[in-house]
Amino acid sequence: MRSFLPKLFSRRQVLRSLGGVASVAGAAALGLGQGSKPAPQGEVGGHSGHYMGAADPKQMGHGNNLTVGAVDHQANGFDPLRLLVDWDYGKVSTLPSGQTLREYEFVAQEKEIEIAPGVFFPAWTYNGRVPGPTIRCTEGDRIRVRFTNSSSHPHTIHFHGIHPAEMDGTPLPGNGGLVQPGQSFTYEFTAEPFGCHLYHCHSLSLKRHIHKGMYGAFVVDPKGGRPPAREFVMVMNAFDTNFDGGNEVYAVNSVAFEYARRAIPLKLGELVRIYLINVLEFDLINTFHLHANMFDYYDHGTTLEPTLRRVDTISQVQGQRGIVEFRYKFPGMYMFHPHVSEFTELGWMGHFNVVRPEDFAEALQSVGLDAAWDQKSLQGSTVPWKGGEQA
Ligand SMILES: [Cu+2]
């Protein structure tokens, strides 16, 4: 099934196959037919083929469009469930001035990743993963990223935020320039302002370099922190598997339907905070819709007060991001997905499994998670909450 999709199927043909007018080969290419690896026990979805409306969460889903089987996360080198809480604080030290220094090593590497069961994509990566590491720091920290290009194309790292021109990571003269294969460049700046930012390659063609996988989250905590919450990073991305200038597979954190197959555990009533980033290329807009709930939204995460209150759908253009906050009032299995239905049907859809505290350990265990994941999701911030006072 390797490299099957690119040769044979256009985006529309794939969409039709997912809509149920399937050609057998199209279904097989997205893991809907024979030859897929079986889904491990205890995971949502599986082989039933009739997911919608089932009372048992293990049988539910979003119509007939879940993939069958599982991606090999070990071969990929990242598991989307663990990636949700995989904050990278860098190597931390204190400069003579008293400023906190966070040092990172980034390496550009070409790597084939599995984005849906049996569908492989020749990615360009930072540190072998898509998205790249989630940089997490406090506003005012010194960030030092030593970038080495171990791939065969020139790349850069362009950070969003406020910094000097020479650290901007673009090909423009005086902007850091292209880092050629085999070369290194060190980006260094003070992290500001606080917010939910991103970084990405700024080589040309920009859309090709970004969409190949060269992007990641850059979360800057306010000096006084934010109220305690269960936190996740979600990078909404997509892949042009046949290089026709349109995406065939959509996801959050790269693997189609992974959070539908393995629902994200939440505790009833707890505050949930999502650092949400849209890195789509080719499609101008992405959206986030939460089922059976409303959320507050902080556009770009650069404010402490919501910029939108009590909404259930927000839009993000390319490169836009923000913070989503909500609590669930009732236990149960809830979908989240874009209200661009086409993206939903092509892989960008997940579930939250909202349970009572006494059932939480079981919910974790059923998707292969443990107490360490729970701790990381609750204690991601670099700053303890100071009750609303900002330093
Ligand atoms: Cu690049």
Whole-model pTM: value is 0.86
Report which of residues 309 and 4 the model is more confident about.
309
pLDDT reading at 58 higher than 70: no
Report which of residues 230 and 18 the model is more confident about.
230
Q: What is the mean pLDDT of residues 279-295?
A: 97
Of 99, 70, 4, 145, the C-alpha closest to 367 is 70
Q: How far is the CA of 274 from the centre of ligand 1 (A)?
A: 27
- What stretch of H or E contains 103? strand 100-116
Distance CA 4, CA 154 (A): 28
Q: What is the DSSP letter of 238?
A: E
Q: How far is the CA of 147 from the centre of ligand 1 (A)?
A: 12
Q: How far is the CA of 209 from the centre of ligand 1 (A)?
A: 4
Q: How far is the CA of 290 from the centre of ligand 1 (A)?
A: 33
Q: How far is the CA of 126 from the centre of ligand 1 (A)?
A: 9
User: In percent, how much of the chain has pLDDT > 70?
Assistant: 83
Of 187, 125, 128, the C-alpha closest to 161 is 187
Q: How far is the CA of 152 from the centre of ligand 1 (A)?
A: 10
Q: How far is the CA of 101 from the centre of ligand 1 (A)?
A: 26
Name which of 46-50, 57-61, 315-319 the model is least confident about: 46-50
Q: How far is the CA of 156 from the centre of ligand 1 (A)?
A: 6
pLDDT reading at 205 higher than 80: yes
Q: How far is the CA of 41 from the centre of ligand 1 (A)?
A: 39
pLDDT reading at 116 higher than 60: yes
19: its two tokens: 């809509």
Q: How far is the CA of 284 from the centre of ligand 1 (A)?
A: 20
pLDDT digits (tens, 9 = 90+) for 257-283: 999 999 999 999 999 999 999 999 999
pLDDT digits (tens, 9 = 90+) for 209-257: 999 999 999 999 999 999 999 999 999 999 999 999 999 999 999 999 9
A 10 A CB-CB count for 316 gives: 21
Of 153, 118, 129, the C-alpha closest to 38 is 118
